[in-house]
Structure 1
Amino acid sequence: MSEKLLRIGTIYIPVINVELSSEWYVNELGAELSYQDEDKAILNFANQSLFLVKSKENQSSNFYDVYGVEQFSITFEVDGLNALETIHKDFSDKGIRVGDIENRGHSGRNFIFFDLEGNKFDVWSELSPIFREKYLTSP
């Protein structure tokens, strides 16, 4: 097979209240709303399309690893430690539930945050070199 998967086009996030959650993503994270109805919202965010899908209560994108630790399913990247610290402070100042900035034993630093529905996300200070090369211009 000579063809290959090229990119992740859409990520689906379970939410109970589509309208409230889409407002949160737009106002708190800077997402752009491109469509919304009572069952879903489509957001353009961090070079991805996110679908917020109306779900039953007690659903989330989180899962538990073999040690019983709740894990996130998405890691967002930022450009360096200063950007990570700035975003961490901004999220904290906005009242977004965030964890501490951590050293996890690999390059860069990380912190976790949660949306209104308890979906857990990660932020990493190391921007992919391929993304930087293809999509960011030099200052």
Structure 2
Amino acid sequence: MIKVGSIFIPVTNIEQATEWYEKHLGVKKIEGWGEGAGFYFPDSDTQLGLIEVEETQPSEFVVKGDRKNSYFNFLVKDIDTIYHELNSSGVKTTEIEDFNGMKHFDFFDLDMNAFSVVDEPVDSPFHRDNVKMMQQNRK
């Protein structure tokens, strides 16, 4: 079975990025190595890796025109609380938007890497509980 193990993010200063990600995303450092460091989320199997690079690199792709999409998103249960916490601690964010019941916003790290935060409505086929039911029914 294949699962997402780690997500890697390019950063220009590993020490500053480590402090930022620990403070704002609540990740815990596992270990560092040469140009990188690995972290875990307290409530998730997926790990996070920060890799020091010489120049900033995009963490999103162009969909069409000037519309962009991040490569992955962070799933939350209470988007309003996360939004307030990030904003009150000085993290740059976009406004919360509603897309057919799914709320989302983007935030940016020290290197202006863009990340999306989403909160799926319970009746969405993409809601974590509905996905779990699909997984269990297809085993």
Name the TM-score class by shorter chain.
0.7 to 0.9
Residues 71-114 of structure 1 deviation map (CA, whole Å, 9 limit, x = unaligned): 211211112xxx1111101100000011101012x232111111
Residue segments in structure 1 that go unaligned for 5+ positions in a row: 134-139
Amino acid in structure 2 at the alignment position of 1:24? W
Query: What do you get for the CA RMSD once the two structures are aligned?
Result: 1.9
Deviates more, 1:33-42 or 1:92-101: 33-42
Amino acid at match of 2:129: P
Superposition deviation, residue 25 in structure 1: 0.4
Answer with 65-74 or 12-21: which moved more. Answer: 65-74
Matched residues in 2 for 1:75 and 1:131: separation?
16
Which protein has greater RCO, CA pairs closer than 8 Å, 6+ apart? 1
Q: In 1, Cα distance between the equivalents of 2:129 and 2:32?
A: 34
Identity %: 29
Q: Which structure shows the higher strand fraction?
A: 2
TM-score, length-scaled by structure 2: 0.81
Aligned: 1:108 with 2:102: yes
Aligned residues: 125
Q: With structure 1 as the length reference, what TM-score do the two structures score?
A: 0.81
Q: Note if contact 1:74-1:122 (Cα within 8 Å) is conserved in structure 2.
A: yes
SS of residue paired to 2:83: helix
Match of 2:7 in 1: 11
Superposed structure 1 runs of 4+ greater than 2 Å apart: 130-133
Please report how far the alpha carbon of residue 132 of structure 1 lies from its aligned counterpart in structure 2 after TM superposition: 7.0
Structure 2 unaligned blocks of 5 or more: 121-126, 134-139
